[in-house]
Structure 1
Amino acid sequence: MLGISSLLALVSASLAIASPALVDRRSFEVKNGVNYTVFEHAATGSKLSFVSNSGICETTPGVNQFSGYLTVGSNMNMFFWFFEARNSPTTAPLALWLNGGPGCSSMIGLFQENGPCTFNNAPGSTPVLNPNSWNNVANMLYVDQPIGTGFSFGTDTVTSTITAAPFVWNLLQAFYAQFPTYENRNFGLFTESYGGHYGPEFASYFESQNAAVSVGTITGVNVPLVALGINNGWFDPTLQYKAYIDYSLSNPYRALITSSEASSYLSSYNQACLPALNTCISSGTNSACSNADNTCFNDIEGPISTADFDVYDLRAPSQDPFPPGTYVTYLQTASVQSAIGAQVKYQECPNAPFLKFQNTGDDARSFLSTLSTVVQSGIQVLIWAGDADWICNTAGVQAVIAKISFAESAAFNAAPLVPYTVNGVQGGTFKTAGKLSFLNVFNAGHEVPAYQPVLALQAFTQTLSQLPLSST
């Protein structure tokens, strides 16, 4: 099996810089009755094909939207959907949203969490406008990655978090070239769940690429990263597998296991899961890390999660209907797919991309050190968690943030959690030091913006504005 260095070499080859003598080209084409604008980006050898103002989801008068594909190589088509800011789009920052999985579509975030439209309070077959959409304050870009996820289709060479990052950088380079008005805007990366892997690595990769651009090592456009936000993230399995036990025994809502069961699970963690994870850390091989992931799942995560509760909201039984999955049927409607320029049937979380990550043991690898490096770099970082989520629970997230290494670590860890209010109403607790903030959100499951949309918009706005969290 290829090592990480070999995989990166393949990715780099697939994203090779074209001759500077080449020029960008724009044209138009009709495919299956749909009109596409086509932009060929010389610097990356990639191509954007998109439709304009489909009228789907965002119906606010005067707010532009674009959706379609970035073709990054031979039969490699990554779907994106961009929404202009509802307010001051010519000066508003740009934010990228990525859902996790790995291998889950960012249409989840768009329709269930923070996008311009939602089914959360719409019982019908079409969505309604979301008054708390994040494009109230930012130009929002949603991307289905890796290829094979959501509406993306074609050859998928991504097998890990590290090999995924260059493709998203490539998309941003082509996006800036087609839409140069957004080039110098402050840029924020926001993600969740497996975003505990994606967020630190992608932010670190963007920063390293920016450095290479600045000294002329590579040709490209600076991505002015100023903020990173990750809610209910999966960062470090050593800390977070143990947190499954702690949180299942003691959380704000209901115990899922007894003290005796907790002791048994802890024994399994110490005797099997932790040693396997340590082997993954020391060897770094795909087989060791895949074995660690399987061991910890079989001994801890799997058995606990068989109880009758929703792993994304332990207050509810399994198969909880909130947030509703109505949007999937909507996106699979032929008229909707045609309008937004989608060329394949929508798949929310297909198996193929996930299995490639599983085969490299990516889930069992820690991105805590990378997260520390990103915090040290000086961008604004928000780590937040809904307190009813089990799968990436707040106990595990708080164990992770206590281990982040940065100049203000001691002050951050010594600071108490204090009420976080929105217009005087408490919605959680938080603390902040330096450029790092942590927010524990009350009465929220895995998808925090779906449960607490007003609070989520405030936290997003403050972070993207390069401000520490503060109550209002």
Structure 2
Amino acid sequence: MAPEKMRVSLVLMILLMLLLVVASSASDHKQAEEEEEEEEEEEEEADRITALPGQPKVSFQQFSGYVTVNEVAARALFYWLTEAADEPSSKPLVVWLNGGPGCSSVAYGASEEIGPFRINRTASGLYLNKFSWNKLANLLFLETPAGVGFSYSNRSSDLLDTGDQRTAEDSLKFLIQWMERFPRYKKRELYLTGESYAGHYVPQLADAIVDYNSKSKNPINLRGFMVGNAVTDNYYDNLGTVTYWWSHAMISDETYRQLVNICDFRRQKESNECESLYYYAMDKEFGNIDQYNIYAPPCNNSDGSRTTRHSMRLPHQPYPMFRQLSGYDPCTEKYAEIYYNRPDVQKALHANTTRIPYKWTACSETLNRNWNDTDSSVLPIYRKLIAAGLRIWVFSGDVDSVVPVTATRYALAQLKLDTDIPWYPWYVKKQVGGWTEVYKGLTFATVRGAGHEVPLLKPRAALQLLTSFLAGQPLPSL
């Protein structure tokens, strides 16, 4: 064979071999992708909820289960996804976090605020919430950090050594891994929401996501966040709370003067004299009210005793909870603790699979007592995230005395934002739902007659908040 023909044959053989290698590689890659997809489908299917005990029939899908966020400690966070009632593939993903710190998003957000179900008085079953936020979005309730609700760690010291930083880190790890399990949400618009001490969790998680996105080839599509009656800044929260107590005639002029003069609201821990004043005000001057909704009657037990509800005492930092009065009818926290301790409910939720050595509770006092790091203010995070272009809304039920509207207004005023739309009343069904002001980079809204859990007391108004927030539109004026 001529040398030239030999060279041509050799080139053809090399090309053929290369084609075979490429084809084989493509085939292997395709097979790997198919295997990965099958594994994801299996994980998702294992988390599917067919029905909860006593649940009415629904058309939307539900999933729940665990995502491990630390292999060494076997630390795992529990979630519950309730997809949108209509066209879930076209709806955003809304994550809801409750605060405490140490309180469950399943107990509060899912079961008495924005979720599709409410628990009946006997805790024997569920009924539909006609103002559920899953009318507008896919809802992901996350119990964070480990030790809250069904979330757990096999390293018991984790429950004695946690705080803001680990909560944000673990919640970010959860989201990244959860989206691997549910890849259809990877590019979906994501919004973070929550209330109370989630006034820390939500912006801190948003901040962690923004930092993650700056380094990742697969960024999370975070668009914004919304928080209600949110712990924001130690000094202004505490000053605003004492001012609210006095302006709503809950405490005497003398107690107010003493609190302002004796207490140093910037301190991590107040003096014994100041602590005594707080207890005196709550015990002697507040009377038999619900601090979370000062115009509601308390929830009394059949024997005449009062049901206690987890509260946060001043200053607004994670000290041991002061057990105060409950006041919502039905007494939903009690019903949640009965319902979610039922073995059949836990089985349906794929929860408590490791047999946690303690009962499920709405809030963990162990976590609350041992909260070891807390930001004194999240206002610097607000400034950073406003600059990053996130949509940020803050709302406040105006009859809450735990994290009251005065506290939020004092704190947000420190941002010194320019006003886009001046203060005006907003409406729901031709009634004033509250008042709002739109700043450059942030919208603030009050909810008239709502307590600490706005969607529980004013569900229609809360749904309007979400509607306007997701649309990026100001709240409706008459």
Bin of the TM-score, shorter chain as denominator length: 0.7 to 0.9
Offset, 1:202: 1.1
Kept after mapping to 2: 8 A contact 1:58/1:65: no
Residues 1:426 and 2:437 are matched in the alignment: no
Residues 1:224 and 2:238 are matched in the alignment: no
Offset, 1:469: 2.9
The 3-state SS of whatever aligns with 1:443 is coil
Return the alpha-carbon distance in structure 2 between the equivalents of residues 314 and 296 of structure 1.
26
- Bigger shift: residues 294-303 or 378-387: 294-303
The 3-state SS of whatever aligns with 1:310 is coil
Runs of 5+ unmatched residues, structure 1 = 1-21, 29-35, 40-47, 215-220, 278-288
In the other structure, the counterpart of 1:167 is 170
Map 1:228-239 → 2, pairs under 5 A: 228-239=225-236
Match 2:361 to one of 347, 355, 379: 347
Offset, 1:411: 2.0
Return the alpha-carbon distance in structure 2 between the equivalents of residues 454 and 300 of structure 1.
38
- Bigger shift: residues 181-190 or 396-405: 396-405
The 3-state SS of whatever aligns with 1:211 is helix
RMSD in angstroms over aligned alpha carbons? 2.6
Map 1:304-319 → 2, pairs under 5 A: 304-306=281-283, 307-308=286-287, 309-316=289-296, 317=298, 318-319=325-326
In the other structure, the counterpart of 1:380 is 391
Map 1:459-470 → 2, pairs under 5 A: 459-470=465-476
Offset, 1:301: 4.2
Match 2:254 to one of 247, 254, 260: 260
Residues 1:53 and 2:49 are matched in the alignment: yes
In the other structure, the counterpart of 2:308 is none
The 3-state SS of whatever aligns with 2:229 is strand
Match 1:438 to one of 434, 444, 451: 444
In the other structure, the counterpart of 1:338 is 347
Match 1:394 to one of 385, 391, 405: 405
In the other structure, the counterpart of 1:88 is 87
The 3-state SS of whatever aligns with 2:193 is strand
Offset, 1:230: 0.6
Return the alpha-carbon distance in structure 2 between the equivalents of residues 410 and 133 of structure 1.
34
Match 2:240 to one of 238, 243, 248: 243
Return the alpha-carbon distance in structure 2 between the equivalents of residues 212 and 356 of structure 1.
33
CA spacing shift, 1:168–1:462, aligned 2, 3 Å: same
Offset, 1:60: 4.9
The 3-state SS of whatever aligns with 2:50 is coil
Offset, 1:310: 1.7
Identity %: 27
CA spacing shift, 1:321–1:38, aligned 2, 3 Å: same
In the other structure, the counterpart of 2:458 is 452
- Bigger shift: residues 305-314 or 183-192: 305-314
Return the alpha-carbon distance in structure 2 between the equivalents of residues 432 and 106 of structure 1.
29
| TM-score of the aligned structures, taking structure 1 as reference length | 0.79
Offset, 1:410: 2.8
The 3-state SS of whatever aligns with 1:417 is strand
Kept after mapping to 2: 8 A contact 1:235/1:367: yes
Kept after mapping to 1: 8 A contact 2:123/2:339: no
CA spacing shift, 1:393–1:300, aligned 2, 3 Å: farther
Return the alpha-carbon distance in structure 2 between the equivalents of residues 256 and 425 of structure 1.
28
Return the alpha-carbon distance in structure 1 between the equivalents of residues 435 and 152 of structure 2.
41
- Bigger shift: residues 339-348 or 141-150: 339-348
Map 1:82-121 → 2, pairs under 5 A: 82-107=81-106, 108-119=108-119
Offset, 1:27: 8.1
| TM-score of the aligned structures, taking structure 2 as reference length | 0.78
Kept after mapping to 2: 8 A contact 1:113/1:449: yes
Offset, 1:386: 0.7
Kept after mapping to 2: 8 A contact 1:368/1:404: yes
Residues 1:369 and 2:380 are matched in the alignment: yes
Q: Which amino acid aligns with 2:225?
A: L
The 3-state SS of whatever aligns with 1:378 is coil
- Bigger shift: residues 372-381 or 201-210: 372-381
Return the alpha-carbon distance in structure 2 between the equivalents of residues 371 and 295 of structure 1.
33
Q: Which amino acid aligns with 2:91?
A: A
Count of aligned pairs: 401
Q: Which amino acid aligns with 2:341?
A: Q
The 3-state SS of whatever aligns with 1:112 is helix
Deviations along 1:286-314, one digit per CA (max 9) or x if unpaired, are xxx3x35x769716544433332222112
Offset, 1:146: 0.5
Offset, 1:452: 0.7
Match 1:212 to one of 206, 210, 215: 215
Offset, 1:384: 0.6
Return the alpha-carbon distance in structure 2 between the equivalents of residues 449 and 238 of structure 1.
27
Q: Which amino acid aligns with 2:364?
A: P
Bigger CA radius of gyration? 2
Return the alpha-carbon distance in structure 2 between the equivalents of residues 191 and 58 of structure 1.
25
Offset, 1:59: 4.6
Offset, 1:26: 7.7
Deviations along 1:407-441, one digit per CA (max 9) or x if unpaired, are xx1326xx643111013221111111233111111
The 3-state SS of whatever aligns with 2:406 is helix
Return the alpha-carbon distance in structure 2 between the equivalents of residues 234 and 355 of structure 1.
17
- Bigger shift: residues 338-347 or 380-389: 338-347
Q: Which amino acid aligns with 1:366?
A: S
Residues 1:187 and 2:190 are matched in the alignment: yes
Residues 1:201 and 2:204 are matched in the alignment: yes
In the other structure, the counterpart of 1:9 is none
Kept after mapping to 1: 8 A contact 2:79/2:140: yes
